Chain A
Amino acid sequence: MSIMEIKNVSRQFGGLAALTDVSFHLREREILGLIGPNGAGKTTMFNVINGFYAPTRGEVSLNGRRISGLKPHAVCRLGIARTFQVVRPLQRMSVLENVMASAFIKTNRNARAEAIALEVLEFTGLHDDRNVLSKSLPLGKRKGLEIARALATFPEIILLDESFAGLNPTEINTQIEIVNRIRSERGITILIIEHHMRVIMSISDRIVVLNYGEKIAEGTPGEIGSDPAVIEAYLGEAHGA
């Protein structure tokens, strides 16, 4: 069953079409990969879903309800949380306070927010770093903190924007495990942008490929890996010659 529908979404910046007529849907409890070369419009897609940008045409709906046009905080309240490609921790707050700030979405009480935050930090393996100022965290843990903050809002869908970029192989394996557990233990649907082919091919149920703002392919990792249009977008025309 699909819980989120992207219907004919276009987004223009002046004369530049960042997204043109993109449609796809997200099924409940799946991991959908969103890939494409640099500048394909992946992050713009996230910004449209999460409410930073209104689509120029088309719409996004969550459980049949139109969400495009809502502000990001309202979209988040409806159950869509996101992480940022360039990590944006609340620098002069501790790791725990960062996650508590998100956890207040469901409660007004400090003790409750702290309990939620501690549980999420345990889940993402950041529990031991809870009192560290987030600006002094190494990159790998900052990526984890992004996920922890998103989880603390109890989302139905989580949008992960390059949560693996810049991580070393060990960190990547830990992160893959966390992403898998987000779905298996918490039942959260995941839409993930990733450049790391090994990662995206192994964790996604389905993959949507964007190129120059248009959707050029959609299918299982196996289908995508052998799709000529995708190979051309990534490797250039010469490959076919």
Chain B
Amino acid sequence: MKKFMPIVVFAVLLAVPLFGLNSYIMHILILVLLWSVIGMAWNILGGYAGQVSFGHAAFFGFGAYTAGILYQHLGISAWWGLPASILVLTALSLVVGYICLRLRGAYFALATLALGEICRVSAENLVDFTRGNLGILIQERTWVEKTWYFYIILLIAAGAYLIIKVFMESKPGFYFIAIREDQDAAESLGINTTLYKTIALCLSGILTGIAGAFYMNYMGYIDPETVFHLYNISIVTVMVVMVGGAATYWGPVIGAVIMVFLAEIIRSLPHIGAAHQTIFGVILILIIMFLPNGIVGDYRKIPGLLGIKRLKKKAQP
């Protein structure tokens, strides 16, 4: 049964546009899938390989700008940004990996944090290339309807899921986890830790970049403040995975569902303004305290935390 879960979920999602849902709900579903992809991508590096990044906005923004700049300067469809971002993000990941992956733990996290900010400031100032704070606007959106955007991001998400599954169930997967658990022990057991950390970073960067390129096409407008945003992209990415469950296949997906819906609910509350970030902060603290492995990792604890366990026991004959 568990084996067929991904297929069932995929089939249900394939059928979703046939229900004729309104465009707001389709928008939410597209955001959930988009965040699932970003979360799954982060999870490769941060969850499985244990290299926590606070700078995934760099990869996301690079993907978005790859698509935007192709459209802006070469006048070709921004959809070319999806394949193009594979090349661009591989190059970026190799450079970032060369510099940052020699750092460990908190130092790596800090370096990636700086990376995201460097990208944002650069994009704001390279006005001739990126149009700076004016941002890039796609004059004519490909489709008015959401259906095709939904199918495209669904395919990207399914692809990401498959790639991760194949990777994690073979040699690189064992190596990623070995590196997370003890880098020195892994190294002395013959694992080229630098090489495999770089592979994890490239894979993570490429998938995040593709999500960014999709975002450009879908939203039709990007500026540095949006796509390189420290909180809205980098930190939310970490939260999606932490809430859902790091180093699990479904954690990023569950995390994306919760974070997107929560954002919508909180946004619709009156009179709270910027305080919605406080609410996210509190949620993150609670999750880390009570469900350190996220919802997918610690789901067995949830009934106990809610006091349901006792009722269940009583119900048994």
Contact = CB atoms under 8 A, between A and B. Distances in A.
Report whether chain A binds chain B: yes
A101 interface: yes
Nearest to B177: A93
Interface residues of B, number: 19
| Chain A interface bracket (under 10, 10 to 19, 20 to 34, 35 or more) | 20 to 34
B138 to A, nearest CB: 43
A72 B182 contact: no
Contacts, number: 75
B189 A153 contact: yes
A32 B174 CA distance: 33
Interface in A65-82: 71-74, 76-77, 81-82
Given A93-B177, A101-B174, A113-B171, A88 B190 contact: no
Interface string B162-188: 000000011100110110011011111
A92 B48 CA distance: 11
Nearest to B193: A73
Given A97-B174, A100-B174, A101-B174, A73 B181 contact: no
Residue among B185, B186, B187, B191 with most chain A CB within 10 A: B185
A51 B184 CA distance: 11
B182 A73 contact: no
Contacts of B188: 50-52, 72-73, 76, 81-82, 84
A153 B178 CA distance: 15
A93 to B, nearest CB: 6
Given A90-B185, A92-B177, A102 B190 contact: yes
A155 to B, nearest CB: 9
Interface in B239-281: none
Interface of B: 169-171, 174-175, 177-178, 181-182, 184-193
Interface of A: 50-52, 71-74, 76-77, 81-82, 84, 88-93, 97, 100-102, 104-105, 108, 110, 113, 149-150, 153
